[in-house]
Amino acid sequence: MVKDQDYLKKTASFCINLAKKLGATDATAAVMHSISETVNFRNKKLDESDRSDSLGVGLTTYIGKKKSSISSSNLTEENIQTLIERCIETTKITPEDEFNSLPDKDLLATKINDLNLYDDDHIENDEKIEYLKEVEEVAFEKKEIINTETGFSESKSNFILASSDGFLNGYKSSSFSASCVAVAKNANNKMQKDYEFTSTCHLHDMLRPSQIGSLAAKKTIQKLNPQKIESEKISIIFDRRISKGILSVLASAISASSIARGTSFLKDKINEEIFSTSINVFDKPDIVKGLGSRYFDDEGVKTKELKLVDQGVLKHYLVDTYYGKKLNLKSNGRSGGTSNLYFEKGSISYKNLLKLNQRTLYITETIGHGSNLVTGDYSVGATGFMVENGVFKYPVSEITIAGNFNDMFKNITLADDLEFKYSTNAPTMLIEGMVVAGK
């Protein structure tokens, strides 16, 4: 079992009180405990089983505008005292930074509504093994599947965040996840691989093992016998697994740190139209059982829903205390990044999206990290399928897709098939007029 809140609060409060006593003008302490268990299978045989138990404290001390941080996994009173003494001494010799400070007190979270992020259920290793055996057995029902790699992870965590301005709060969370990577081989001994997974806060919300095995096998077999295509300019559809990456780029580009440093192609774009008018983007921290849900940000600042993009217009940056002060903006509870970030679903069905163009490239996998946040340029390796008149014709491999986000954002059409499978989610997405480099 993870440590209870009383133990974590007692430790965090001890850190704050001692730091103040030793000369800190302000201090924050985060005390965390997590336990995780993982079982991995490969080709129907147990490959690995492990358990980790992590207990630690992270401390930040301020002396005026000087700031330093330190962390340890040794939570004995004697070690914590030594830790704080060292942190104070380091702070004294650290250069001043006028933007160093705790969050404004009136921004701190005071009310916590239960979001049901913790499940007390536990699944024993024997049950994890049975789950994975079924996943692999179902995948191997397809004769083309020659190899599988599966895993099941369970984790429970609890933490407390404390600060010298009186904030003292935290919460428990849990996660259960399982995955299957399948490898398929065709008659010419050419191989392809793909995967399926499930990840939830609560054990009983997971996909059934048969679903994971079946979907992993199906997706893998579909990729066999890929063809190469000529270079061209073509409309591209991004599968939901890939379309969410466009939102991740947006989040990085509108983080206060990128804006303050001048390293974002979206600098000075507040209240400007960066998407087509049909696009809305939300960051919603209070979704019940949401994988990205949280009660407050990394600094204890209250979080609330933000409509980051309203009818194509950029309305907010993701602002924390430090970079907010640099930008003369108040924190909006995004220290640590986004929570549940998503595109509002579109108005066209998935099937009709496939039919919007006579010929479309459907991308299911991208390779490499090809996003330049400074210029907005985008270029990645990819695999997928050629779609003609709404029908998947054949798999495609060894291509590169490219564009610039300034143009891509303006040419997005979203399907109505949004689902909340990750902490960042997007429906199936069509982008007109991208460049594909083929053979």
Q: Is the pLDDT of residue 120 over 90?
A: yes
Domain with CATH 3.30.2290.10 in the chain: 5-222
- For every residue of 327-384, DSSP letters joined together read TT----S-TT--SSEEEPP-SB-HHHHHTSSSEEEEEEEEES--B-TTT-EEEEEEEE
Residue 439 reports pLDDT greater than 80: no
Q: Is 87 helix (H, G, I), strand (E, B) or coil?
A: helix
Average pLDDT in the chain? 95
Q: What pLDDT, on the 0 to 100 scale, is given for residue 336?
A: 96
- Tell me the pLDDT tens digit for each residue of 211-266: 999 999 999 999 999 999 999 999 999 999 999 999 999 999 999 999 999 999 99
DSSP conformation class of 275: S
The pLDDT assigned to 305 comes to: 97
Three-state DSSP at 39 gives strand
pLDDT score of 323 more than 80: yes
Note the pLDDT tens digit of each residue in 269-309.
Answer: 999 999 999 999 999 999 999 999 999 999 999 999 999 99
CA distance 90 to 288: 41
Categorize the per-residue pLDDT at 1 as very low, low, confident or very high, splitting at 50, 70 and 90: confident
State the pLDDT confidence band at 335, using cuts at 50, 70 and 90.
very high
pLDDT for 368 beyond 90: no
Fold of 5-222: PmbA/TldD fold (3.30.2290)
State the average pLDDT over residues 190-195: 94
Cβ atoms of 438 and 231 closer than 8 Å: yes
